Amino acid sequence: MGQRLRRRSALVTGAGRGIGRAVALALAREGANVLVCDLGVAMDGTGSDQGPAEDTAGECRKLGVEASAYSADVSDFKATEEMVRACVSRFGSLDILCNIAGILRPRMIFNMSEEDFDRVLAVHLKGTWNLCRHACAVMRQQRYGRIVNCTSEAYAGTVGHSNYAAAKGGIVSLTYDVAREMGRYGVTCNAFAPRARTRLSVGDDQDQGLQKRMEAGLISEERLQGMEETRREGADPEHFAPFVAYLASDAAANVNGCVFVASRATIGVWNHPAIIHKFTRDWEIEEPWSIAELEKRVPSELLSEYVNPAPAKA
Ligand SMILES: NC(=O)c1ccc[n+]([C@@H]2O[C@H](COP(=O)([O-])OP(=O)(O)OC[C@H]3O[C@@H](n4cnc5c(N)ncnc54)[C@H](O)[C@@H]3O)[C@@H](O)[C@H]2O)c1
């Protein structure tokens, strides 16, 4: 048992299973008290079961900290306000917030229902915003806080997950924003993209999905191999959960607004989006850009090293 998070109070969503559970335990191992929040839903977000949250809370208590299970839906604004209030009234503060709850509803965009889009956005993006919103009100008063959001490498673009990719991209932007709004109050906000073997990432459905996409020419064999390598590199999230505990600790007081990747084998940091090539003009005296000029300059001056990720097929 470490002492780095002693007397800290943590709220972890999605803590009943997979990565959230490993993170809750890693925080508890460093002495944090934990509110274990999880609705206990199926992979697609349906159903509910208090069992997983109760189980994780029990495992945390075995480590000698205080822990309670809390069953509520992160997409519900009022319910998340209650969740934050429950943490403060149970432990006296809310020092660490880890937004990890998530679901999947993969379909190609032309087959995706509005409900599948809305639900995935509601759980990931709205859920993360809800908890940041309520936690930041408390953390601002405390002048202390650590927020760790969970994104995915899918945020940089994938296939068959337009809802999920959009939600995870939104979480990256939200993280950049919260970091800048809250840094002055002693609150940091970072995100990590995990690679782990959990029910969301490994299973017959996922294997068949990848195989089908390759057969349909949507991903190359090379890309499929790369994804399989990523999945092999992934492991029990216990391997990298200590990284989240590190982000929640005093040692990371000056780490704010970063997006990391975390797996058994790799901890990496993504670059912040930046303009890499540009051309400019004197807009006060020159005419608007002409299409003829753009046809010439965009390929040669902006996109000379660019490769289209999905060129048209005959
Ligand atoms: N497994 C991976 O390799 C991987 C890769 C990238 C991102 N992620 C992200 O990691 C996070 C955790 O995923 P996991 O792989 O551990 O999956 P998981 O299914 O094992 O755990 C997710 C947990 O979130 C809970 N949950 C879902 N919707 C909820 C809601 N509305 N309210 C409260 N709780 C809810 C579920 O009950 C479940 O216990 C997700 O945000 C996922 O998108 C996972």
Q: What is the pLDDT of residues 121-150, one digit of tens each?
A: 999 999 999 999 999 999 999 999 999 999
In the structure, what pLDDT confidence band is assigned to residue 220 with cuts at 50, 70 and 90?
low
Catalytic residue among 9, 71, 152, 162: 152
Active site residue 113: no
d(C-alpha 243, C-alpha 239), whole Å: 9
Q: Is residue 35 part of a domain?
A: yes
Q: Is residue 296 part of a domain?
A: no
Q: Is residue 243 part of a domain?
A: yes
What integer pLDDT is reported at residue 276 of this predicted model? 96
Given a cut of 80, whether residue 214 has pLDDT beyond it is no
SS3 call for 211 = helix
Lowest mean pLDDT among 11-25, 159-173, 200-214, 262-276: 200-214
User: pLDDT > 90: what percent of the chain?
Assistant: 83
d(C-alpha 224, C-alpha 222), whole Å: 5
Query: What is the 272 CA–ligand 1 centroid distance (Å)?
Result: 25
Given a cut of 90, whether residue 166 has pLDDT beyond it is yes
Q: Is residue 2 part of a domain?
A: no
* Greatest distance between any 2 Cα atoms in the chain: 72
Domain hosting 121: range is 9-202+236-269
In the structure, what pLDDT confidence band is assigned to residue 204 with cuts at 50, 70 and 90?
low
d(C-alpha 249, C-alpha 157), whole Å: 31
Lowest mean pLDDT among 126-130, 211-215, 275-279: 211-215
CA 192 to chain centre: 6
Spell out which residues line ligand 1, taking CB within 6 angstroms: 13-14, 16-20, 38-41, 43, 45, 52, 73-75, 100-103, 123, 127, 150, 152, 193-196, 198-201, 234
Residues 6+ apart with CB under 8 A from 211: 224
Q: How many CB atoms lie within 10 A of CB 51?
A: 12
Query: What is the 102 CA–ligand 1 centroid distance (Å)?
Result: 3
Catalytic residue among 71, 168, 176, 249: 168
d(C-alpha 195, C-alpha 225), whole Å: 15
Please state the rounded mean pLDDT for residues 216-234.
Answer: 66
What integer pLDDT is reported at residue 82 of this predicted model? 98
Please state the rounded mean pLDDT for residues 37-61.
Answer: 98
Which residue, by CA, sits nearest to atom 41 of ligand 1? 102
Q: How many CB atoms lie within 10 A of CB 152?
A: 26
In the structure, what pLDDT confidence band is assigned to residue 87 with cuts at 50, 70 and 90?
very high
pTM of the model: 0.94
Given a cut of 80, whether residue 235 has pLDDT beyond it is no
What integer pLDDT is reported at residue 222 of this predicted model? 63
Given a cut of 70, whether residue 234 has pLDDT beyond it is no
Q: Are 84 and 131 in contact (CB under 8 A)?
A: yes
Q: Is residue 219 part of a domain?
A: no
CA angle 154/158/160 to nearest 5° reads 115
User: What is the number of domains present in the chain?
Assistant: 1
Query: What is the 297 CA–ligand 1 centroid distance (Å)?
Result: 44
In the structure, what pLDDT confidence band is assigned to residue 233 with cuts at 50, 70 and 90?
low
CATH number where 173 lies: 3.40.50.720
In the structure, what pLDDT confidence band is assigned to residue 173 with cuts at 50, 70 and 90?
very high
Catalytic residue among 70, 144, 155, 164: 164
In the structure, what pLDDT confidence band is assigned to residue 45 with cuts at 50, 70 and 90?
very high
Active site residue 168: yes
What integer pLDDT is reported at residue 128 of this predicted model? 99
What integer pLDDT is reported at residue 209 of this predicted model? 72
Given a cut of 70, whether residue 231 has pLDDT beyond it is no
Instruction: Report helix, strand and coil shares of the chain as percent, to nearest 5.
Output: 45, 15, 40
What integer pLDDT is reported at residue 72 of this predicted model? 98
Q: Is residue 70 part of a domain?
A: yes
Q: Is residue 225 part of a domain?
A: no
Q: Is residue 226 part of a domain?
A: no
